[in-house]
Each structure stands twice: as structure tokens, then as C-alpha cells.
Amino acid sequence: MGSSPWPPKVSMELHVKNRDKLLSSLRQHLSDSSRPLHGFVLLQVSLSAFIFLPFLIFLNNLYPIAFAQGGEEQTRYDTDHLELFRQESYFAYLFGVTEPGFYGAIDIATGDSLLFAPRLPSEYAVWLGKIKKLSDFKEHYMVSTTYFSDEISSVLQQYYQGAGKPLLFLLHGLNTDSDNFSKPADFQGIDKFDKDLTTLHPILTECRVIKSELEIALIQYANDISSEAHVEVMRRTKVGMKEYQLESIFLHHTYMYGGCRHCSYTCICATGENSAVLHYGHAAAPNDKTLEDGDMALFDMGAEYHFYGSDITCSFPINGKFTSDQSLIYNAVLDAHNAVISSMKPGVNWVDMHTLAEKVILESLKRGNILSGDVEDMMAARLGAVFMPHGLGHFLGIDTHDPGGYLKGLERRKEPGLKSLRTIRDLQEGMVITVEPGCYFIDALLLPAMNSPETSKFLNQEVINRYKDFGGVRIESDVLVTAAGCYNMTKCPREIGEIEGVMAGAPWPAKNISTHASNGLQI
């Protein structure tokens, strides 16, 4: 494992193609709306906060828009400790720029791409290294031309050849996963331009929904190294360890052998009853429980490489051997996971996939005498949401929860469980979506269900009490929708025999990360 000493080199052609895709979609929209094909797409990434306060104040006076919006490096509260910067996702999608402080523009009429870099003072070279020339950015990021960010107004006005004010298409729209709005770019002199705040966001978001082959290859790479790391965690899990030690093993493997400095999200390393806490691992529950014999582990961890991520969950017994109760719950979730993947193809609706997963899990729980009664009646009573309160999955790409789930006027469902779905769209070729059914024993959901006449009649309370401290099981894979069906990009042991074998030291046929090109894809 980890036999490749270096991660793959990523071509900026990926982002050239992303810009071309946006340009084509935007021009088509304007043409269909009988609007002129001119104006500029403009995105901003705010200037970073640098190493120490006097320098930070100097820069803020020099660039009054420096700290206004997203994509900036952050200091920790009132200190000079600088948090590790990660680029804003829409800007990363179009330009691939890793540095903070840039603007990017696309001329709709000509297709030219323009980068505007911060004009850095000489002190930068003392503290943060060599100051690059504009030509360096032009060559590396494969854009048409580069300028300094204090030249935006004059440069764009020179580019514009029409009458009246030039038009700026600015990014402003709702992220339906976070309920936060993207922030439109701002700069000195923006009052000399007309602004369109509604057109760009839905078009650019829809571009991100369908992945190119170059994007898929990066997601596959993140899956390959993350799958390897999950297997390494399985092999090294021992009673008496701390949850955070397993998190550390994962982080070390993906960085050491995969060059992944960032994770897609905060690792969830839950064992025992903690595995029923859906977003365990946060500051108030920091992966610090001691691993106990007989407990299940639920490890949800995914690495990110060149902005593109993975999102993988493995569940397994701490001691390496499944009990009959653990096998019942695990196989219920695995059967749901496999049933969904077998059913996925273009045109299939994601709500139907979610309800399929619920039904398979309820049928398994009925066979295990945890439930009794008619499964269709259970579905009508939304009993599935008691055991799986989250949605089946979400789009995956530059963001763990990639946007686009509710474009085109789609509205969330209101029912328990279904209201947590991050999309209700029909599947399309080129989508990458997670499949992550789960079954949890959560007191905050079970107790009301036991006291409700609509659901209590299905629950065998004596058997359920046996699972009081069980926690939960989740199995999550990242799946590419193909023309013929789908392709599972995740390469972890899933069957009980495979997991027990790997934890006992058996080899696992994980692909070498240097030759991972699944489906013939290359980065």
C-alpha cells in the first residue's frame, strides 16, 4: 500500500475545459433569452490575511476590499495564527488557483479568461517567499492574460466595446446544503458597471453537477488513496486504542502516500454508542473515546486532492469479528447499499433510491424480529426515518456536498427522512453521488416512535432494548452514473468475510494509486 511516492501532476486543462463549459452554457442561455452575447463573468477571492498584524493592517489599507468576502485566509480570532487556506470552490472550479487574493474574469464575447493578482508589497518576499510575475500566473493557470487586481475597472472597460456601461455577471445564489448565499465580487470602481446577480449562479452550479473525465479521474484518485487508508485503519484497529489514533492513521496515510494535505471534511471516527451520532467528531465530541471489545466502529473519512474529494464510510467490529446482532444490522445496510447501486442508471429518481434503501433495511429488521407488521405500512408511517434519518446521499466533487441538488425549481420534500435528502433529481450520466444508507439506534428518535400509535405497533421494544448502546452502521461509497448504469469508485472491503479477513491480516486487492486509472481515465 502507498507504493507511489508522488501524487499525480494535474493539468490546468481541467479548468480550461470548465471555463469553456460555462461559456457555452451561458452563451446558450443569453441567446435563448434574446440577450446580447457580451459582458464579463467575474469572481472574487479575497486577499489573504498574512503573517503578522502590522503587515495585515498595511495590506488592508492598500486594498480596502481585501477582507470583504469568501475565499480569504483567516486568522484565529484576534491572534496572528493563520489557518490553512483552501480556495473558494466556484473559483477553484473555473481557475484552479491555489493562492488567495485573486479575481477571475471571462469575457463572454471573446472567451478570453483574465486573472487579476494582488499587487504584493516587497515585505511579502521576506515572510512568504518569492513574488511571482504576472507571466508566471498566466503560464501556470493557462489563462489568456493577467493583470493586477487594482486594474480591474480600467482593464474590463478597455475590453468592452459596446455602448453604455459594461455588464458584470456576478455570483450570487443560495447553497441549498448550507442555506448560505455566495458573495458577489466587489472592487473599487464597480459603480461604473451594470450588474447581473441572478443569471450566473444557477448556470455555473449546473455545470458542476455533471463531471468531466478529468474531474472524474481526480475523484477516483481521492477514492483510491482514501480506500487504501480505510483498509490500513481496519488492519491497525485494536481494543484499547483511542478513536483519534485511527483518525491519525487515516490522515497520515492519505498525506504521506497520496499528497492529500486537505480532507474533504472533519473525520468521523465513532465507536460504540458514538456511532449513532451522525456528525460525531466535532469539537464537542472530538473522536476521543477508548475502543472497547464488542463495539462497532463507524469511520467516515475522505481525502481531497487538488480540490476534488472523496467521502467514504466503513463500519466494522473493533475486535475483528462480527456478532450475530452486528451481522444483522450490518447486512441490512449492506443489502440496501448494494440494491441501490444495482438499480442506479440515468433517469432513475433519487427519491426512489432512498425509499428503496429504507424498504430493504426495514425488511431486514423485520426478519431479525426487531420489527413486526407489514413493511408497506411501515413505509407509509415513515418508520424508515426512525432508523435512517438522513438522506441516502449527495453530489460529490469540489465540495463534499456538491451543489445543484435543488436547481430548476425543485423543492424539498416535507416527510421525515425525505426532507433530509440533498437532492431529489433524476440521475444523469456524469453525476457523482454518494450512496450511504445507514441504520442507527438513536434514543431521540426511538423513544418518540415507541410512544406514537402510528409507529409503536411495529416496534419489538424488548429486542430494540438489546440494541440500546449499539450505535449504528453506515456504508458509504462514491458512485459515478454511467450511460449503462453506474460505477462504484470506492474500493473498500464490504462483505463481512472480507472485513474479518482484512482485520486478521489477509491481503486486500487495493489498486496501486499510481495506476488507478479506472475506466481508462487519466489525470
CATH number at residue 458: 3.90.230.10
505 vs 520: CA distance, rounded Å: 31
Q: What is the pLDDT of residues 247-267, one digit of tens each?
A: 999 999 999 999 999 999 999
Mean of the per-residue pLDDT values of the chain: 91
Give me the pLDDT at residue 65, please: 22
Are the CB atoms for 516 and 224 separated by under 8 Å? yes
The per-residue pLDDT for range 427-456, each reduced to its tens digit, is 999 999 999 999 999 999 999 999 999 999
CB atoms within 10 A of CB 67: 16
Q: Judging by DSSP bridges, how do beta strands 113-117 and 145-148 pair with one another? A: parallel
Q: In what order do the strands lie in the sheet with 432-435?
A: 432-435, 477-481, 486-488
Angle between helices 200-209 and 13-32 (to 10 degrees): 130
Distance CA 25, CA 28 (A): 5
- Residue type (1 letter), 55: F
Write down which residue in 154, 188, 209 finishes a domain.
Answer: 209
- Please say if the pLDDT value at position 468 is more than 60: yes
For residue 183, count CB atoms less than 10 angstroms from its CB and return exposed for 0-12, middle for 13-18, buried for 19 or more: middle
Residue 72 is predicted with a pLDDT of 66
Q: Cβ distance 30 to 108 under 8 Å? A: yes
Is residue 430 in some structural domain? yes
Asked, for residue 7, whether it belongs to a domain, the answer is no
* Domain shared by 158 and 188, yes or no: yes
Domain range holding 244?
213-520
The residue ranking higher by pLDDT, 228 or 49, is 228
The answer, yes or no, to whether residue 49 has pLDDT greater than 70, is no
Q: Are residues 302 and 377 in the same domain?
A: yes
**In a domain? residue 260:** yes
Type of residue found at 367: R
Please spell the DSSP secondary structure of 148-185, one letter per residue: EGGGHHHHHHHH--SSSS-EEEE---EETTTTEEPPPP
Q: Tell me the average pLDDT across 413-426.
A: 97
Is 169's pLDDT higher than 90?
yes
Task: Flag whether pLDDT at 58 surpasses 90.
Answer: no
Other beta carbons within 10 Å of 457: 14
Q: In this structure, is residue 1 part of a structural domain?
A: no
Give the per-residue pLDDT at 308: 98
For residue 516, the model assigns a pLDDT of 36
Q: What is the mean pLDDT of residues 271-291?
A: 97
DSSP 100: S
Q: Return the percentage of the chain with pLDDT > 90, whole number.
A: 85
Query: How many separate domains does the chain show?
Result: 2
Residue 64 scores a pLDDT above 50: no
Confidence (pLDDT) at 50: 40
DSSP characters over 440-454 = E--HHHHHHHHT-TT
pLDDT of 75 reads: 82
Whether 406 and 448 map to the same domain: the answer is yes
Question: Cell 485573486 maps to which residue?
Answer: 102
DSSP state of 192: G
Check whether 280 has a pLDDT greater than 50: yes
